[in-house]
Amino acid sequence: MGKRILVLGGGVGGVVAAKRLAERLRGRVDAEITLISDTDYYLLPPLLVNIALGDLDPAQAQLPLSILSKRGVKVVKASVTKVDPDNRVVETSQGKFNYDYLIASLGVEHDFKSYNLGVGYHNFTLDGALKLREALRNFKGGSVVIFTPEPIYRCGVYPFEIVSQLDTIFRKRGIRDKVELTLIHPFERPIQPLGPEAVKITEETFAHKGIRYIGNARPLEVDDKNKVVVITADKVKYDLLIVVPPARLPKPFDGTPLAVDLPNGRWTVVDVYTGRSIKYDDVYLPGEHSMPSIGLPTAGVPVHFTALASAGAVAGELLGEPIDPAQITAMACAMDYGDFGLMFNCDIKLDLKDNKALWINNCYSILTSPLGKLIKDLFYKTWLQTTM
């Protein structure tokens, strides 16, 4: 009987891992690769903002997961309910699946319950992006607040992008003089982890665009009755509220030995070099749910590289070849500020002793230009078309 490799999640990590495994193993070893996803399509999350802003239709941001079947990957549409690493079993809405190797990349849960965030608009799901698109189309003026209550959320640069993009959109619509734009964020200064160069560019952009930044914010709640965001030092009025939900551990990991309480939350913990679970040799966890434990952002680029590392490690073991995961050494960050774009690169050093990826204070600009918008757009659309 061939080795059973179970891949959980039809997002960046799951798709990248399944594809790489199929490329490495097909025709060389007897292995069955099964990918389980709760949707039958792959949706590129960064393009949700383009849907919300009216630049893309949903069909332009997704591809059917069935494409993977051409590579020999079996795709099952099901919701994962529990991971049981002690018995090598995954429970789903379509029954139980056993495995010899597990690669789980289940993203994060978006917490809309805390702070009463559910009353605001967002674009962290397709449905949310479509509702935000409609709200923006009907918006004629007033106070727009982007509320980011906690520092760990999907795509760290997103709040700084969306507020700048909205400025450009409202100017094009001729209503910018009727709109107040405010970003509430836990960082003392905007986009602080990318370093002083990014902070300077962003602060100058906000000043030029007339964007109010409330940093070092300590959130309490959203009072939707009075239309205010309540923080410890202020109450900020809104007519349109856009929220950035905190990231939480996916529910299938709750109550399992894979989840660990850390100073920055409850997450799965992995080896920084391979993405392998620190407790189970047959389990790999290259998902956003592991990135905070090794010092990386909850974003697609580090998940992509960690998924490649995990797939490389599994393939190496099955083929009897040296394991060379080719883990992440740099992280490119493309940002769209509405009327221009930025490209930042962050050099990454893997500290194997402390099991951390070190990148903060190692970031620098490689482009600040209107061309940056085009490069970002081409990057994501090319990635979408070539990943499968």
Q: Does 201 lie in the same domain as 143? A: yes
Share of the chain above pLDDT 70, in %: 99
Domain end residue (candidates: 296, 326, 356):
326
| Spatial CB neighbours of 70, under 8 Å, sequence gap ≥ 6 | none
pLDDT in tens, 209-233: 999 999 999 999 999 999 999 999 8
Beta strands at 95-98 and 89-92: parallel, antiparallel or unpaired: antiparallel
Q: Does 193 lie in the same domain as 179? A: yes
| Spatial CB neighbours of 368, under 8 Å, sequence gap ≥ 6 | 201, 340, 341, 342, 343
Q: Does 267 lie in the same domain as 216? A: no
Please check whether residue 9 is in contact with residue 85, taking contact to mean a CB–CB distance below 8 angstroms: no
Going by pLDDT thresholds of 50, 70 and 90, the confidence category of residue 27 is confident
235 is written with which tokens? 């109450």
What is the model's pLDDT at position 385?
74
| Distance of alpha carbon 350 from alpha carbon 257, whole angstroms | 25
Q: Does 259 lie in the same domain as 192? A: no
pLDDT in tens, 182-211: 999 999 999 999 999 999 999 999 999 999
Residue 45 Cα to chain centre, angstroms: 7
| Distance of alpha carbon 105 from alpha carbon 16, whole angstroms | 10
What is the model's pLDDT at position 326?
66
Q: Does 23 lie in the same domain as 76? A: yes
Please check whether residue 314 is in contact with residue 298, taking contact to mean a CB–CB distance below 8 angstroms: no
Q: Is residue 374 part of a domain?
A: no
Q: Is residue 382 part of a domain?
A: no
Going by pLDDT thresholds of 50, 70 and 90, the confidence category of residue 375 is confident
Q: Does 122 lie in the same domain as 14? A: no
Q: What is the DSSP string of 307-330?
A: HHHHHHHHHHHHHT---------E
Q: Is residue 376 part of a domain?
A: no
Strand partners for 267: 260
Strand partners for 260: 267
Going by pLDDT thresholds of 50, 70 and 90, the confidence category of residue 373 is confident
Mean pLDDT of all residues in 20-30: 93
Q: Does 232 lie in the same domain as 123? A: yes
Domains: count for the chain: 2
Specify the pTM.
0.95
Q: Between 300-319 and 12-25, two packed helices, what is the crossing angle to 10 degrees? A: 30
Q: How far is CA 165 from CA 211, 291, 332, in A?
A: 11, 27, 20
CA atoms within 13 A on the CB side of 87: 9
What is the model's pLDDT at position 238?
98
Q: Does 87 lie in the same domain as 127? A: no
Domain end residue (candidates: 290, 311, 326):
326
Selection from 151, 166, 157, 152 nearest residue 121 by Cα: 166
Q: Does 239 lie in the same domain as 125? A: yes
Beta strands at 101-104 and 109-110: parallel, antiparallel or unpaired: unpaired
Which DSSP category does 156 fall into? T
Q: How far is CA 321 from CA 73, 260, 317, in A?
A: 22, 32, 6
Q: Is residue 361 part of a domain?
A: no
Q: Is residue 386 part of a domain?
A: no
Q: Does 142 lie in the same domain as 226? A: yes
Q: Which of the pair, 358 or 372, is modelled with greater confidence?
A: 358
pLDDT in tens, 309-333: 999 999 999 999 877 766 788 998 8
Domain end residue (candidates: 243, 276, 303):
243
What is the model's pLDDT at position 321?
87
Host domain of residue 253: 3-108+249-326
Q: Is residue 360 part of a domain?
A: no
CA atoms within 13 A on the CB side of 91: 10
* CATH assignment at residue 197: 3.50.50.60
The average confidence (pLDDT) of the chain is: 95
Q: Is residue 160 part of a domain?
A: yes
What is the model's pLDDT at position 38?
96
Selection from 120, 89, 117 nearest residue 102 by Cα: 89
Q: Does 28 lie in the same domain as 91? A: yes
Q: Is residue 365 part of a domain?
A: no
Please check whether residue 249 is in contact with residue 109, taking contact to mean a CB–CB distance below 8 angstroms: yes
245 is written with which tokens? 């939900």
What is the model's pLDDT at position 170?
98
Share of the chain above pLDDT 90, in %: 88
pLDDT in tens, 60-115: 999 999 999 999 999 999 999 999 999 999 999 999 999 999 999 999 999 999 99
What is the model's pLDDT at position 277?
98
Q: Is 64 helix (H, G, I), strand (E, B) or coil?
A: strand
Residue 374 Cα to chain centre, angstroms: 21
Q: Does 206 lie in the same domain as 120? A: yes
First to last CA, the chain: 27
What is the model's pLDDT at position 4?
97
Which DSSP category does 177 fall into? G
